[in-house]
Amino acid sequence: MNRQRMLRVLAATLGALCSCTGPRPLPAPAPTAPALTESVRPWADWLQRCDLERAQRTMEDHLARLPLEKHSQRQRTLLGLGLLHLMRGRFGEDARMFWQAVRADPAAPLARVAAWQLDESLAVAGLANDELRKEMERLLAEGPPPELRFLLHRTLRSWALRRGDWAAAAAHVRQGGAVLAWRATALNARDPGVALLDVLREPERAFSAAAWRSHPVSEADGLLWHEQEGARGLWLAESFFHVESAARLWLRIEGPGDWVAMVDRALIRHGGGEDCGGTVEAHWISVPPGTHRLRVAVPIENGRALLGVNLLPADGRATPPVFAPGPPGDGESPAADATVEPDALLEPPETADPIECLWAGLLDWSRGDLDGAHEQIFRLRQQLPAFSLAHYLEGVLWFESSELPAGIAAAQARRLWGQALSDCPALDLVRFRLALLDGMEGREETALEAMRRLEAEHPDSFIFPLTMANFFDRLGWNAEADAALERAARRVDFDPDLWNLQFSRAVRSRNETSASALAGAAAARPILGRALNAYFWSRGQRDAARRGMDAAIARFGSQIGPRLEAIDAEMAAGEHPRARELLDRAEKDFGPRPEWVQRRLHLADRLGRPDEARRELERWIELLPWDLQLRLAWRAVTGRDSLFSAGDGPADPRPILKEYLDSDFMPGGDAVLVLDQADLEIASDGSSIERVHLLVHVLTATGVERWGEVRDIPPAAQVERVRSLDADGNAREAEIIPGKDSISIPGLQAGEYVEIAYRIGRPPNGVRAGGFSAGRFYFASEGLPIFRSRYTIRIPRGLALVTRQHNGAPSPTRQREGRFDVVRFERSRTFAIPAEPDASPLDESAPFVEAGLAIDWRDLRDRLDSELSRASRPDWSVAQFAARHDATQAPASERVCRLFRAVGNAVRRGGEADDFGEGAASILLRGEGNRLTALVAVLRAAGFDPMVYLARTVSSPAVEYRFPQEGVFTHGVVAVPVENQRTLWLDPTERNHPCDRLYAYLWDQPALRLRNGPEEATTIRLPPAPRELPGKEIHLQLELAADGTLSGSGRDTLHTSEAAKAREILSGFSMAQRQLVMENGLSAAFPGARLESWSMESIEDPDRPLALQYRLHSAELAERLPDQLVLRGGFFPYRLAAGLAAQAQRHRPLLIEDETRLRTVVEIRLPPGARARAPADMKIQGPLSEFSFTAREESGRLRLEKNLRVRAGRIRPEEFGDFKDFCLQVDRKDVEAIWVSLPNPARAATP
């Protein structure tokens, strides 16, 4: 398929991505083999015996018996014959059947399916039948429904392009209703999804504030096209149309992802509703007489926005609307009374007729709704499990899915196609697709063998030898490729793909005779293409090349590629006036663009005009203020750096070194950061350039090891200096080794200095226009003292920079320097923050500064919400997953928990909760990724409306940040309203997390709420601690013998977050490994004990406590004395001081990330007649902690109970002494000896 045709067939160009909620899930029906209905009987030979020859005859006989007035039945039979020919690889015959199906009932919805298939089939068949073209034109003159008119004009445009008739192609684009008169504006430097949501909230305000510019027309494809390298944001476009009288119109808009359209005040949203389908929206528009406004808003992603917009009269004989790119004249306002209603497709069949599922699926597919198509084809396959067509079609749907990684999609397609071929070996189209898949996966020779057989069976088809030629060419088998191309060329009048391969091979092999003949044939048609233009240009045939380039500019006016091709060619040839003329036209059409300014700069250089070159460089920097290469060029032109007035490059280190050496600052340690300087320049669009300058005094061998390999420079940075300086000021430059992730400083010794200077440019990355948030700048470091910290921010006057200091950071000084406001922070002689185990995050102790403008936490919330909405879109595969695991008759709470558990089982390896870059369908099929995304998608597919939060855990920095920061809200939780006004809370972080339970590290924590409206608060508080606190219980029932032997049983029950982690580990262990875990745990608590038996309960049921049961025997635990036994060492001792309070004192808060709640009950049956002297009861409290101990002897049994609770939170340094004392008291009580006095006989028996 040639490039122009691919541009026209937007669905083929862009895939069938639709960012909207998928179909509601239906329980997967069990495979059945129903009695054949009336509509199925003509298909019986295909369905039951796969006898395709007989099936064709049966269908033809059935068609011949049908009366002419049975339009619908005849149309369905003709469509079936077309599909049968298609599956047999009889390209051409299938197209004739599809055309007859169109003619059978042009007003019926299935005529659209036939026309859609016809367009694709003719391209593969290579037909150029003038009689068929005339028949299409006659049908168009009859005024068929608008969608059929559109499809037929699209097919006729394709034929016109194959003939090189560009005027006819443009005519069919216009007659197909393409809107070609637009004015537009690009809102760059913002998040596309959030920008679209802002338009939805206030559409009139968004469009009325736009700065409109007339947009060039692409008359050859009719597409509304915007491209700009690296751009991200939103593209707004509007057109005006006039009708003389009240009219009913048909609007068709085609494009991937989300977009918004407005007709007058009527809003059309694609991608946000529950039932939107595919890449195509079709609507009926009723308008009164007058001029009306059509507006669209399209996200700019990966530098591109693309949409196809067509508007046709409902009545094919009515006068079409007249378009204009601008509003009516003075004194006249556009009308605002349009009404809009969707153009509904066929309703999904309510009957059990499987063939109706086929038609409904193909109709959904024709509008790019792959989810709807997949649902119907799946139903078809379930009702007719031996129907090879259903297997094939479902395989194609998997293969074309844009939601899945290519490897997974291909594997699913191969499985289904293999099944289709196994059931019906005569399906040559399936063989063809499998061969193409083999070729894509590097198995060209396997593919070639299949292609040889296909060509032998279809000697008149050009597509098989053409495909073989591609494989031969890839393998470098030149003779075979040439022979295959020759066979293909004999079988088709002209095919662009065939010509491209022929011409490419002729040029590469320097076969001038062949290349010249092919170029002449293409120019005569004419065919447009860069390769052809380059060929003519390189051979001095510049007029021919210019004709091709001018034609491309005229036909594809909204694309910048043809413009750049022509400009670069003229500049390379020294045709400077022509290049300037082309640049002037391009800038007039598109406005200032970096691409134009760059070439104007080069042109000025070549013409020897330094002042003009300097002005163009200045313009270029204004367009891309963050581009470091442009800053280097500015330095080369002007001799100075435009970043700061401090001079060219980083500052001279000698003055700060002298000041440091003359000072009495001697903090010790392995190194001293003599200078930590960052200079930040922020542009009005939110882009920035930052220069970092570090100077480190290395004091010890450990410091040499740390700083001798520099790893702190970001990958995209421009390195200005990396070197060492000795005491005499001599410098040694660093060694930069390609491919190494660090920079080596050779010969570095203690006492020397390391200097690092680099710059990094950052393009706009704000959520909304002009939004910017700088990284935190710290004035203290963990383990590294700092002699001088400097932070300077330069911003254009008029921008409201906001700064916030934390933890005693210095106050700023502000001054004005020319057109800029400059804010400076500085601090000297800062000692290192000590590194301590289990310390709270550094941001709670270190002084630091935040800086930003036009951004807050709502922006981050909106961006994450937009990303999550897209990633959690429940496509067909997600809906089927939900259907398999849902219990639709159960209460909502039970359904939610079942789905929660199913997602946990399916996604075995989780990802970052705030990373929504991968779709739910891919995550579920891979079994790996963000479990939060998958859970939200499955719940949405099941009809729930989950609320999603990103929470701050106890271990997150407890800092009130002014601007959004990474690493703060990172823990995903979901809340689902269910029956009885309850809300279930789901935490998908761990696979084995119980349903409706949040653990202590989330209790009462702040959370960013994603799925809510703009009127609601950005953050909320998660639920507080429950009344019944979860914990861990240990219950030991032991028997102490007179000889000191201790035996009995134990049961450990975990209700805490430890259970989820333990399940994750234990579920993957073998029985031997599990036993080893039990033995190691037992020996740690009871040295020398023997594990006699063990079991584990509820490993696979996270909603029940995890229980470990065991029997033990120990002959060494009790110390034997002449008349008594002594039990030392405690029972499962805590050892709190060693774990939490090993230091004598702390300088930073101690972080306790999760709550510990442990109840231990020990019941010991004493030897007959023995008496125990147990430790005294105890009850104490400490910071965030409490402990109790009781001991009772009764009826020959000793019962010990101890309860420990340590709450999650922070223990301040001034509280640490009390906490350490608490831990020591608990540890002493924990191991306090238990004396057991034995009766006289027992004493006599004791050695």
- pLDDT tens figures, 1215-1228: 999 999 999 999 99
Supply the pLDDT for residue 275: 46
With contact defined as beta carbons under 8 Å apart, do 1011 and 940 qualify? no
Average pLDDT over residues 12-17: 28
Q: Give per-residue pLDDT as tens, 1075-1108.
A: 999 999 888 888 888 999 999 999 888 888 999 9
Supply the pLDDT for residue 971: 96
1115 pLDDT higher than 60: yes
Q: Give per-residue pLDDT as tens, 898-940.
A: 999 999 999 999 999 999 999 999 999 999 999 999 999 999 9
Supply the pLDDT for residue 331: 53
Supply the pLDDT for residue 273: 46
632 pLDDT higher than 90: no
With contact defined as beta carbons under 8 Å apart, do 420 and 395 qualify? yes
With contact defined as beta carbons under 8 Å apart, do 635 and 641 qualify? yes
Q: For the purposes of burial, counting CB atoms within 10 Å of the CB of 1138, is it exposed (0-12), middle (13-18) or buried (19 or more)?
A: exposed
Q: Give per-residue pLDDT as tens, 1152-1209.
A: 999 999 999 999 999 999 999 888 999 999 999 999 999 999 889 999 999 999 999 9
Q: Which of 253, 245, 214, 262 is nearest to 322 (CA)?
A: 245
Cα–Cα dist 409/415, whole Å: 10
CATH number of 1032-1240: 2.60.120.1130
Q: Which of 57, 47, 86 is nearest to 388 (CA)?
A: 47
The residues with which 81 forms a beta bridge, in sequence order, are none
Average pLDDT over residues 634-642: 77
CATH number of 656-855: 2.60.40.3140
Supply the pLDDT for residue 739: 73
Q: Which CATH class is domain 180-342?
A: mainly beta
Cα–Cα dist 988/974, whole Å: 8
What are 757's two structure tokens? Answer: 């200077």
Lowest mean pLDDT among 167-171, 502-506, 666-670: 666-670
pLDDT band at 1109 (very low <50, low <70, confident <90, very high): very high
28 pLDDT higher than 70: no
Cα–Cα dist 216/224, whole Å: 9
Q: Give per-residue pLDDT as tens, 512-529.
A: 999 999 999 898 888 888
Q: Where in the chain is the domain with CATH 2.60.120.1130?
A: 1032-1240
Q: Give per-residue pLDDT as tens, 676-717.
A: 999 999 999 999 999 999 999 999 999 999 999 998 899 889
Q: Which of 725, 688, 680 is nearest to 707 (CA)?
A: 725
3-state secondary structure of 799: coil
Supply the pLDDT for residue 347: 60
Supply the pLDDT for residue 21: 31
Supply the pLDDT for residue 364: 92
Q: For the purposes of burial, counting CB atoms within 10 Å of the CB of 32, is it exposed (0-12), middle (13-18) or buried (19 or more)?
A: exposed
337 or 289: which leads in pLDDT: 289
Half-sphere exposure of 870 (CA within 13 A, CB side): 24
Q: Where in the chain is the domain with CATH 2.60.40.3140?
A: 656-855
With contact defined as beta carbons under 8 Å apart, do 1075 and 1094 qualify? yes
Q: Which CATH class is domain 3-174+354-443?
A: mainly alpha
Supply the pLDDT for residue 122: 87
Average pLDDT over residues 765-774: 92
Q: What is the DSSP letter of 437?
A: H
1243 pLDDT higher than 80: no
Average pLDDT over residues 980-987: 94
Q: Give per-residue pLDDT as tens, 252-262.
A: 999 988 999 99
Supply the pLDDT for residue 125: 80
Other CB atoms within 10 A of residue 912 CB? 12
Distance from the Cα of residue 1020 to its chain's centroid: 26
% of the chain with per-residue pLDDT over 70: 94
Q: Give per-residue pLDDT as tens, 169-225.
A: 999 999 999 999 999 999 999 999 999 999 999 998 999 888 999 999 899 999 999
Average pLDDT over residues 742-760: 93
Q: Where in the chain is the domain with CATH 2.60.120.380?
A: 180-342
Which residues make Cβ contacts (< 8 Å) with residue 1037, sequence separation at least 6?
Answer: 1048, 1049, 1050, 1163, 1165
- The CATH fold assigned to 868-1021 is C8orf32 fold (3.10.620)
Q: Which of 94, 106, 119, 183 is nearest to 147 (CA)?
A: 106
588 pLDDT higher than 50: yes
